[in-house]
Amino acid sequence: MEPIVKWQVYIILCSDNSFYTGITTDYERRFRQHALGRGAKYFRGRQPLRIVYREEGHDRSTATKREARIKAMSRADKELLVAGGITVRG
């Protein structure tokens, strides 16, 4: 049986004031990767400034679904989500 891995959903504030949403098992490592230009093409032409939101306690399936829901949100709704801080599920 595979061990349960704790996935996280995160939002990064970018240098152009946009939000980037992603999933990872290690948000600090993933942020460093984004800052070094590895991974998401979204960071070509913009820099990640800081992680402004994260949710913990997901499995890969729920993290992927939550990521999709957040990406579909309006900017105003994302700002409200970010204002709420870190959310721990389950």
pLDDT above 90 covers a percentage of the chain that reads 77
Name the pTM for this structure.
0.88
Mean pLDDT, rounded, of the chain? 89
pLDDT, tens digit (0-9, with 9 covering 90-100), for 2-27:
556 799 999 999 999 999 999 999 99
Residue-level pLDDT at 84: 86
In angstroms, the Cα distances linking 31 to 2, 12, 18, 51, 62 are 26, 8, 15, 8, 21
Structure tokens at 33: 């990767």
Cα separation, 89 vs 74, in Å, equals 22
Domain membership flag for residue 13? yes
Domain count, the chain: 1
Domain membership flag for residue 83? yes
Residue-level pLDDT at 2: 53
**Which residue segment(s) compose the domain that 22 sits in?**
7-88
Confidence of residue 53 (pLDDT cuts 50, 70, 90): very high
**CATH code for the domain in which residue 78 is found:** 3.40.1440.10
